Amino acid sequence: MEKINDKMAKLTIKRLSPEEEFPDLSQHNNHMAKVLTQDMYTKLRDRATPNGFTIDGVIQTGIDNPGHPFIMTVGCVAGDEETYEVFKELLDPIIEDRHGGYKPTDKHKTDLNPDNLKGGDDLDPNYVISSRVRTGRSIRGFCLPPHCSRGERRGVEKMSVEALDSLSGDLKGKYYALKNMTDAEQQQLIDDHFLFDKPVSPLLLASGMARDWPDGRGIWHNDTKTFLVWVNEEDHLRVISMQKGGNMKEVFNRFCTGLTKIETLFKDKGTSFMWNEHLGYVLTCPSNLGTGLRAGVHVKIPNMSKHAKFEEVLKRLRLQKRGTGGVDTAAVGGTFDISNADRLGFSEVELVQMVVDGVKLLVEMEKKLEKGQSIDDLMPAQK
């Protein structure tokens, strides 16, 4: 029998039969559409998380967006931490498919010790234009962006800004709330390529995470502009460490130091990040579970990118290519964004190591191709 929580109130939901409600996914190609059956839907639609998030909330973005030209999208989101438990029957197979066979019984390793990274400070800056590591964090006890109320979103902002304001040294910085920013501040943030705007991607809009924009949203960055935090965009927090050039080691050092400090600050306030030993860090999109980490470079590989084996090499190195505008863009002029393809089932250190080693190899291959030499003897084994 269910326990009754005196904070909870009743929601009334009128429903017709589950057969009548089942979405038409015949034109769809995303992870949710591959997995969701009538039987599963019938079972799951009688449930809700303690915060009232339902199966229809989880899958709406996948129904509204049948497919994507460049990548196989997930097609569902979490509205709170409990979503991943309450709708396990749907999310576990999606996670397994998306994260390379990760099983419901598997355990995820977290390793944010930058000393464990080997090398990474010497990627050739003639090819590697910039280096960046990003992840996300969610604050336990608050609903996630698709489902949070305005009060919760403001609560996340307030807590995050308090924590960030107490950072010091080279992490010391300032918060710019989207709704209070002056024109001058806005222009500076645009020039620095820091400003994020209201999402236009229907993948994001359909999930409800852009409600009430720009209330509760903002950007924090340190004075040296190498550590940046987005508040209340697709996740509670997106944490980004970046700099020009190829010193990924330094980027990762700062990333780990900053994250660890922020986590300590939250613990001092009596809360923590959403994390568990099966899924690692819990974020809005199931594709970002585990480490939520994308470590990448902008690298000039015009010859390599035209080579017939380019895709094969990336696949073996467990790397992914994107345009320099990010996830929904194509590459311009031979410069690609190369990053780790995995998020879950590998630790942070392991993933950054893959990027460091992989990009080093790609640059070597590029240099060989420039000289008209073959790259056959450099072909890597599958990682």
Partner 1 sequence: MANNFARILSGKRNVGIMSLVGAGSLTAAFLLNREHVTAGAQVRRVYPASADYPDLRKHNNCMASHLTPAIYAKLVDKATPNGYTLDQAIQTGVDNPGHPFIKTVGMVAGDEESYEVFADLLDPVIKERHNGYDPQTMTHPTDLDSSKLKSGKFDERYVLSSRVRTGRSIRGLSLPPACTRAERREVEKVVVDALAGLKGDLAGTYYSLTHMTDQEQQQLIDDHFLFDKPVSPLLTCSGMARDWPDARGIWHNNTKTFLIWINEEDHTRVISMEKGGNMKRVFDRFCTGLKEVERLIQEKGWEFMWNERLGYILTCPSNLGTGLRAGVHVNLPKLSKDPRFTKILDNLRLQKRGTGGVDTAAVGSTFDISNLDRLGQSEVQLVQTVVDGVNYLIECEKKLEKGQDIKIPPPVRK
Is 79 annotated as ligand-binding?
no
Q: Nearest-5° angle of CA 133, CA 180, CA 207?
A: 55
Site for partner 1 in 249-278 (CB under 8 A): none
Environment class of residue 7 by beta-carbon count within 10 Å: exposed (0-12), middle (13-18) or buried (19+)?
A: exposed
Q: Would you say 87 or 255 has its CB closer to partner 1?
A: 87
Q: Does 104 bind partner 1 (CB under 8 A)?
A: no
Binding partner 1 (rule: CB under 8 A), the pick from 28, 30, 36, 51 is 51
Q: Does 12 bind partner 1 (CB under 8 A)?
A: yes
Min CB(25)–partner 1 separation in Å: 10
Q: Does 81 bind partner 1 (CB under 8 A)?
A: yes
Dihedral sign from CA coordinates of 345, 351, 355, 356: negative
| Locus of tokens 């980004």 | 240
> For partner 1, which stretch binds (CB under 8 A), given 82-90, 261-269, 322-330, 361-369?
82-90
Environment class of residue 153 by beta-carbon count within 10 Å: exposed (0-12), middle (13-18) or buried (19+)?
A: buried
Distance CA 52, CA 50 (A): 5
> For partner 1, which stretch binds (CB under 8 A), given 79-87, 128-136, 310-318, 339-347?
79-87
Q: How many CB atoms lie within 10 A of CB 321?
A: 19
Site for partner 1 in 205-244 (CB under 8 A): 205-206, 210-213, 215
> For partner 1, which stretch binds (CB under 8 A), given 111-119, 125-133, 202-210, 345-353?
202-210
HSE-up (13 A, CA, CB side) for residue 152: 19
DSSP three-state, residue 256: helix
Is 229 annotated as ligand-binding?
no
> What residues contact residue 123 under an 8 Å CB cut-off, 6+ apart?
131, 245, 246, 247, 248, 297, 356, 359, 360, 363
Binding partner 1 (rule: CB under 8 A), the pick from 33, 78, 86, 178 is 86
Residue 117 in contact with residue 350, Cβ under 8 Å?
no
Binding partner 1 (rule: CB under 8 A), the pick from 39, 46, 277, 370 is 46
Is 150 annotated as ligand-binding?
no
Q: Does 191 bind partner 1 (CB under 8 A)?
A: no
Which of 98, 75, 262 lies closest to 164, judged by CA? 262
Q: Does 4 bind partner 1 (CB under 8 A)?
A: yes
Is 130 annotated as ligand-binding?
yes
Name the packing angle between helices 310-317 and 348-370 (round to 10°).
150
Min CB(64)–partner 1 separation in Å: 6
Q: Would you say 139 or 240 has its CB closer to partner 1?
A: 139
Contact residues toward partner 1 (CB under 8 A) are 2-5, 7-17, 20-24, 46-52, 56, 60, 63-64, 81-82, 85-86, 149-152, 154-155, 179, 205-206, 210-213, 215
Binding-site residue set for ATP: 130-134, 193, 238, 294-298, 322-327
